[in-house]
Structure 1
């Protein structure tokens, strides 16, 4: 059964990430830790399906509180997926989006783009750097290096980041094949990417605790104590985090 091969391939990719992205994960966790210690916020941005990464880290039970999900409607798959594809190629849009966020120098910007070729994520990195933020990119290096940039200066996302997290996905983001089909299928970027980001959250929390700082962690609102704990966090970060 082919689904079992997919599980095997995903497991192999996860082992590859642990071995090859170890240093990058540790570095990303360290800069996020330092940002939080200095009252900073982790901003997470992506286009189309990559908006899911912002949703995954934002307002998540067991996750970090100071996470701002940048969820621009033109870049969302709803109400129109083709509009999202069109929008992520438009130069100038990233600046408009970022100017609408409460961004401060001690913050960190995490940008997710598997191909790393489109104008909006590239420009978001450029604009965030202008504001003094450190940039973490989650991308597929093999994918990005195979395609041409759609940005005017020819740069790609990984070339602008302070830290690059490689999801080790194939060009096209599909890994499975079967006789009689020309197209590959079975995407890997979300499964691997979510795991990478959650592993960073885990490491940030451990690092904060080791430094004697109580990590700001959301508690499930379905626990009896959850609402009371989370209310305190929401009041503290409401002015820094758009969706609160």
Structure 2
């Protein structure tokens, strides 16, 4: 986001006074409101795929590398979240084993099968969501293509604007996914200008993207209810009856979800 884009309307120039938590909250709220409003049709289409998977005893897989691995963790074993969710978690592609190295790996080709190794990904029952803000790095794109080769329906949460701004050959996630949910975040992700010669600050893609992800899951559970099906949902561990409820769900699903 440029300094001009970050300058509030009606003010002639950037000022250090604009760099506040309140300014960030204002900007991220605007992006979130736009995404939740304009992407509701895509959220519903994605949720239909997820609900269809749940109805056939399938699994909703979630993958992202770098910071986007948090999408898998948000959806998995979550209080108030769907039980039939499996994150694809490979430590080398997360952050804790080396953040710089994970960025290098994200740009290498030929790793999709090793990432998917150990996960069932049955095209007849399962669905996959891949989160990638830029949607342009080889790793998420190749994982998407590998999943589609197995017949698995593909959802992506990405930024079309960011993907289109990257001058690099090759497909983008929004070109190949069955359902695209646009997070409406700007190229570079950050929302608040710090001043001439400095990068902008205040990332937006995780805040907005996780809200879209949870909206998909809640919509999928609602679709199940409207079909007369009983959704499988984890409870907060501190709620009455949660231990028994969650243990039973984990017991039934542990053969499908390795991280349980």
Q: TM-score, normalised by structure 2?
A: 0.89
**Residue 240, structure 1, aligned to residue 240, structure 2:** no
* 2:57 alignment partner in structure 1: 39
Partner Cα distance (2:115, 2:200) in 1: 34
Match of 2:139 among 120, 142, 154: 120
**Residue 80, structure 1, aligned to residue 102, structure 2:** no
Aligned 1:1-244 pairs, distance under 5 A: 2-105=20-123, 106-149=125-168, 154-180=170-196, 182-244=198-260
Partner Cα distance (1:18, 1:187) in 2: 17
Segment drifting more, 231-240 vs 121-130: 231-240
Partner Cα distance (2:118, 2:112) in 1: 10
Partner Cα distance (2:143, 2:168) in 1: 14
Structure 1 residue 179, shift from structure 2 partner: 3.7
Residues 128-156 of structure 1 show CA distances to partners (whole Å, capped at 9, x for unaligned) of 00111000011111100111346xxx111
Residues 156-212 of structure 1 show CA distances to partners (whole Å, capped at 9, x for unaligned) of 111110011111111010110144553111100011001111111111111111111
* 2:8 alignment partner in structure 1: none
Segment drifting more, 49-58 vs 180-189: 180-189
Partner Cα distance (2:168, 2:255) in 1: 35
Highest CA radius of gyration, 1 or 2? 2
Structure 1 residue 223, shift from structure 2 partner: 2.0
Partner Cα distance (2:71, 2:40) in 1: 20
Instruction: Give the conservation status (yes or no) of the 8 Å contact 2:28–2:191.
Output: no
> Unmatched 5+ residue regions in structure 1?
none
Instruction: Give the conservation status (yes or no) of the 8 Å contact 1:43–1:70.
Output: yes
- Matched residue SS, 2:96: coil
Q: Which runs of 4+ in 1 moved over 2 A?
A: 178-182
Partner Cα distance (1:195, 1:17) in 2: 9
- Matched residue SS, 1:143: helix
- Matched residue SS, 2:171: coil
